[in-house]
Amino acid sequence: MRLLGKSILITGAGGGIGAATARLAAHEGAGHVFLADIDEKLAAQATEEVRDLGVVATALHLDVVQEADWIAAVAEVESTGAGLDILVNNAGLSGGTAIDPYDSAHWHVLMDTNAAGTFLGMHHAMAAMRRTGRGGSVVNVASVSGLIGQDYVHLGYSASKGAVRMLSKAGAVRHGPEGIRVNSVYPGVLPPMRSAITTRGSEAREAAVRGIPLRRQGEVEEVARAIVFLASDEASYITGAELVVDGGWTAM
């Protein structure tokens, strides 16, 4: 029961890592799970799965690039009276959204969603955490693409995930005195994201899997376990850390 009684807001919770984290949070005793997604139908479906586990859960519409959406989402969380203890900044776009790695339009979309969306989440969620007076925990989902160079994803993906890395470190330093921890998780090769187009089933992807020391792709539940650990009080003296969940890929 590592999240016993805690209020947790997860973005991109309609599927993948976000939905897996929401389910695990329920198993770990979270008091209220808020599942936010730009796709309201997926958010509603994932929320029902969490409720079936016997936990209070609420679906929220949230486009992470829209500051007004963040303000509304945090206000709804606070309206329950529980306050906000944990933010999981998981929403993001895949690096396989464009054929041309220098497509300038996709550069802006990737940077807005992955980097600016994380920044806005930290900004508004941390304000809510300060209002509780009990600190909090932020876990930002980056990618191994933010640590190493790759030749089959859009350059904006690597840049945006590198930005998430430094946002996390800067946030940890700035907000540590307030009792708010900020850590980041770096998934490796997982089942393709909803937004993946060019990398889904590609030869580069298959070659990447063959090169992983554990010789398989990861599962979203394995990333969710890392997120919940960092979010929990078990990681009470961990902030500014980078937890890589990649089967050993970046160890080579």
- For 154, the 3-state DSSP assignment is coil
Phi, psi at residue 215, to the nearest 5°? 60, 35
The active-site residue, picked from 102, 157, 186, 237, is: 157
CA neighbor of 82 nearest in space, from 43, 55, 104: 55
89: Cβ contacts below 8 Å, ≥ 6 apart = 11, 64, 117, 118, 121, 122, 138, 139, 140, 141, 164
CA 20 → CA 24, 50, 222, distances in Å?
6, 10, 9
Distance between CA atoms of 153 and 188, rounded to whole angstroms?
Answer: 13
Is 157 one of the catalytic residues? yes
Distance between CA atoms of 33 and 94, rounded to whole angstroms?
Answer: 25
Sheet holding 86-89, edge to edge: 56-61, 32-37, 7-11, 86-89, 136-141, 180-187, 242-245
- The radius of gyration of the chain from alpha carbons, rounded to an integer in Å, stands at 17
The continuous run of DSSP H or E covering 67 comes out as helix 67-79
Catalytically annotated residues? 157
